[in-house]
Structure 1
Amino acid sequence: MRSRLFTLRSLTYLAGLVAIIALMLYLHHQARKRADSTDSTPIIRDYPEIRREGTLRLCTSYNEGGIKAQGGELSGLVYDLAKVLQQRSGLRVEVVLENNWEKALTYLSSGQVDLVTRPTASTSDIDTTRFRLFGQEHSGPIFLIQRRADSTTFVTSQIQLSGRTITLPLASPYRLFLEHLSEEIGEAIHLEEDSLYQAEQLAMQVASGKIDYTICTDKEAQRFKTLFPELDCTLPLSYSFRTAWLLRRAAPALSDSLSLWLKK
């Protein structure tokens, strides 16, 4: 009798345990389905939604963001762009500064910003199912930044970079060019990524001897000649290429509106 009672209780406990495990698996599956559904659903934030809120947000890096002028007012290309867009659109235009490229893309896809105004190489690894290139234009080559007076690290040709290390900002859109360059010269160029700094801060690190090389665009090279006379920014690492800004793929009306505002 006791044996039968023990067996009955064991079966009851086992059935309860199986039911609990089955419920946990079901809830986990449902949560995954909801998460997957959320991740795959595009953010609906196009021009009508932006107009209703009354605010357009631009995202750029700290270097691209500009500097403080007299009176504490921020000035620079992006702030000049924000003023133009505000005047022509009637919207309030905010500038969001973010150095981390992956975070900038997350802000864009989630609707926290509406336009990434950091120049992006058209051949970069951009997810064109989520983003669209906007305002493409030709840019000059990428230049190597190195110390002018350091004979142990100074190079005068691309092939001399074999076996050397170039430090880039994290998720730099120009990494692809350097990988292609490494293939072209047939020797490995080591690439390291810095998660904290952009071109200007990395140029400072080259000047101080903390790193040997980084890169910059043609516009940055012109500016760095004045800021860092001890640096050499004259060795090109690429031909000219096309750059663009980024919009959400699901914002065609905003793309049309921006084209109209910026044509005036």
Structure 2
Amino acid sequence: MVGKLQTMKVTRIIIGIVIVAILIAAAVFVHRDKSKIHDLPEILKAGRISVVTDSSSVGFSIKDDSIFGFQYELIKAFADTLGVELVVSEHNDMKTCVDGLLKGDYDIIASFMPVTTEWKSDVLFTNPFFTSRQVLVQQDIKDSAQTFINKISDLANKTICIPENSPFKMRIEHLSDEIAMPIKISEVKGKSPEQLISMVSSGRIKYTICDEQFVTKIKMQYPNLDVSLPIGFEQHQAWAVHTKSTKLLSELNDFLTDFVGSTAYWKIYRKYY
């Protein structure tokens, strides 16, 4: 009987030790996970800020030995004011960008995001850069051999191509509900909105969507395209940071308030629009 009690006692001790070890390991994991989220003091201490943007002329592009992009130049100006190194990653998949931000892989999503309830619980948005709505991109061929979309209801049973996990997807789904007819969505992996616009111009796909902000540029670059049909209401467009990066958000908003609209800003803007 005594031996049995001793065995039970030892077993309880072992179980207790195992539980404590698991709790310690979990605490260490949580601490490490949280430590990946860098607010402004950690960024300044490390001397480096990591951002993610889309691969396009308004995001981030490399040609020959030159790096360019509207949002790249803006975030580079911000990094310079902080005196830190800028580390840039490219992703056209917005879900990948948000997931990376939540894990601490990136400090800022420096890619224009519509300020919607879809993301508001996951990220903190900067002050908006501008308001814009979505427009349909299609070839400007109005003859019997081509299905030209004149009004929203004409989109019934048509297929619109968008980047994978694009914020445009929700708008198309709502549009389908509004016209009470299905609108098919084709999510194209690894393609930016600009690349899909080029594919419409060349005839590889029929329809895609872009922000109205880029319409003038698109018409200059692709004169065979029509972008006259709006399919959404105006939305604020902004960058995003982690919900724990409140000091970074404040510093970034202060920078944008001073920089956007300045002579330096308009010099950059005129290069891309």
Q: TM-score, normalised by structure 2?
A: 0.76
Q: Return the letter of the residue paired with 1:94.
A: V
User: Which of the residues 75, 79, 90 maps onto 2:72?
Assistant: 79
Contact persistence 2:50–2:106 (CA under 8 A): yes
Is 1:106 matched up with 2:88?
Answer: no
Tell me the residue number matched to 2:119: 126
SS of the equivalent of 2:177 reads helix
CA–CA distance in 2 between the matches of 1:150 and 1:169?
A: 26
User: Which of the residues 132, 135, 159 maps onto 2:153?
Assistant: 159
Greater Cα offset, 253-262 or 152-161: 253-262
SS of the equivalent of 2:229 reads strand
Please list every run of 5 or more consecutive structure 1 residues that lacks an aligned counterpart in the other structure. 1-22
Is 1:248 matched up with 2:242?
Answer: yes
Q: How many aligned positions are there?
A: 234
> 1:248 offset after TM fit, Å?
0.3
User: Which of the residues 114, 117, 135 maps onto 1:143?
Assistant: 135
Is 1:180 matched up with 2:174?
Answer: yes
> 1:215 offset after TM fit, Å?
0.4
Q: Identity over aligned residues, as a percent?
A: 26
CA distances 1:10-67 after superposition (whole Å, capped 9, x unpaired): xxxxxxxxxxxxx9xx99xx69x959x6499544411111111101122100013245
Is 1:258 matched up with 2:252?
Answer: yes
SS of the equivalent of 1:261 reads helix
SS of the equivalent of 2:111 reads strand
CA–CA distance in 1 between the matches of 2:202 and 2:142?
A: 11
SS of the equivalent of 2:109 reads strand
Is 1:209 matched up with 2:199?
Answer: no
Structure showing greater radius of gyration is: 1
Tell me the residue number matched to 1:8: none
Greater Cα offset, 228-237 or 201-210: 201-210
CA distances 1:63-89 after superposition (whole Å, capped 9, x unpaired): 1324557x8332331232133213322
Q: Return the letter of the residue paired with 2:189.
A: S
CA distances 1:110-167 after superposition (whole Å, capped 9, x unpaired): 2221110111111252161x42111224422211011112642211111111111111
SS of the equivalent of 2:149 reads coil
CA–CA distance in 2 between the matches of 1:175 and 1:52?
A: 39
Change (3 A) 1:254 1:192: same
Tell me the residue number matched to 2:165: 171
Q: TM-score, normalised by structure 1?
A: 0.79
User: Which of the residues 213, 217, 220 maps onto 1:223?
Assistant: 217
